[in-house]
Structure 1
């Protein structure tokens, strides 16, 4: 049986553990026929160990999205494994602990959050442009920045910057027939969640307001949403944010 990504080559960034959205995006992409290349940063032994849990072996490239040198070399390093790309998954975000205190955070820490969580989206895609085929799809991960959330603070501002970056990137890459979209995911019990003070308060919002049953321990629905946008089933959708959050975004009081 053929899959919706048959013959496509996909770069998935930001994988760390089996609980990460990146892992499940890579897993579902492989199950749907894609050839996957991974990037990770920092704890590379853990990244490589996690990669071995995928259905098929996948090469792993170390990438610091804030390093101009590594970004400049990225296309060549990908070319060691694939001659072109049909899709990119941006699953990279970080903010120092102080950014979760809106009034107390200083600019240096906020700048780090914005660079890693928003500017890196543009930086990653432009680094890969020499390899991207017409019809390629870029998918990033956000946490709905249209509203405020308990404790999320400057990371919410960084996500708002990411959402705006997505629209401008979609505008500028449209003439190359490259689509750029985001998935707004609900909260998940991942390594990233552990760095958010008061994460339990966010989770409680979903317990009370999710229209569909939301499982904090199951990233696969988000991974499936990513793969859907990577496929050819959305050929005229770009600059969009698709919610995979159990419906919380549309609930009123």
Structure 2
């Protein structure tokens, strides 16, 4: 029986540890028949070690989304491993420490601009870089944390995620004529390296578990990974410019 992603060629960014959402996306995608290429930044040997824990070998390509030379050479480096791309997963985000925490007013523009470039603008720059490799139809999926409201301590990362959600809509408009869909998955809090950098994240997890209609386990990224893979598949051909919530239903309820 063919898998949901049988034969799909995917570029997945953001794998750092086994707790990374991107790791679970890659694992589930492989289990569903996809060929996966990973990107890593900085600690490439760590990404390569984690990649060996996936169901099948996955090549790892270095990618700094703020480095134009990395982006320009990306198509050639991806082409060494797959003949084209049917899907791209953007699971990249970063904000300097000044952008998170108690005070929204104190972060300098240099830090804010870094958060916006890495966490929002990079969805466009990554997509633009690999566009020559993308098939038709194809799917681009990014990760967000519901940016419709202000969250404690999330501060400028929340602003960057709001920008990411807007970039998604504009990319969807731009790439729709090429039959390339662009969507986001808004996950509930998950135990990742990124989450550990957010002050008070543990308290938010308890609230999420208590209030979500379906419940929520912050140590289980499987539901989020499945949602991403569903968007990468051919089963949502008319969905683009959208945010799909994989948060146990927390976004839908009041106090």
TM-score, structure 2 length as denominator? 0.98
Contact conserved, 1:149 with 1:202, CA < 8 A, in 2? no
Aligned 8 A contact 2:209 2:217 in 1: no
Equivalent in the alignment of 2:141 = 139
4+ residue runs of structure 1 moved beyond 4 angstroms? Answer: none
What displacement does 1:248 show? 0.5
Tell me the SS of whatever aligns to 1:19.
Answer: coil
Among 229, 235, 238, the alignment partner of 1:236 is 238
More displaced stretch, 90-99 vs 210-219: 210-219
- Please report how far the alpha carbon of residue 209 of structure 1 lies from its aligned counterpart in structure 2 after TM superposition: 1.4
The structural deviation recorded for 1:31 is 0.5
Mean alpha-carbon deviation: is it higher for 232-241 or for 208-217? 208-217
- Select between 207-216 and 50-59 the one with higher mean Cα deviation: 207-216
Give the structure 2 partner of residue 222 of structure 1.
224
1:1-253 correspondence to structure 2 within 5 Å: 1-100=1-100, 101-253=103-255
CA distance in 2, matches of 1:125, 1:180: 10
Alignment coverage as a number of residue pairs: 253
Q: Is there any run of 5+ residues in structure 2 with no aligned partner, and where?
A: none
Q: Which moved more, 1:204-213 or 1:172-181?
A: 204-213
Greater shift, 94-103 or 84-93, is seen at 94-103
- Please list the CA deviations of residues 94-138 of structure 1 after superposition, one character each: whole Å capped at 9, or x if unmatched: 000000131111111000000000000000000000000011000
Work out the CA distance in 1 between the residues paired with 2:207 and 2:62.
35
**Alpha-carbon distance in 2 for matches of 1:204, 1:34:** 35
**Secondary structure at the counterpart of residue 184 of structure 1:** strand
**In 1: Cα distance, 2:75 partner to 2:166 partner:** 25
Cα displacement string for residues 125-164 of structure 1 (whole angstroms, at most 9, x for unaligned residues)? 0000000001100000000000111110110000000000
Post-superposition CA distance 1:5-35 (Å, at most 9, x none): 1111000001100000000000000000000
Superposition deviation, residue 74 in structure 1? 0.2
Q: Check conservation: 1:150, 1:201, Cα contact below 8 A.
A: no
Structure 1 residue 204: Cα displacement: 2.8
SS in 2 for 1:56: coil
Post-superposition shift, 1:202? 2.0
> Aligned-pair distance for 1:207?
2.7
Unaligned runs of 5+ in 1: none
Normalized against structure 1, the TM-score is what?
0.99
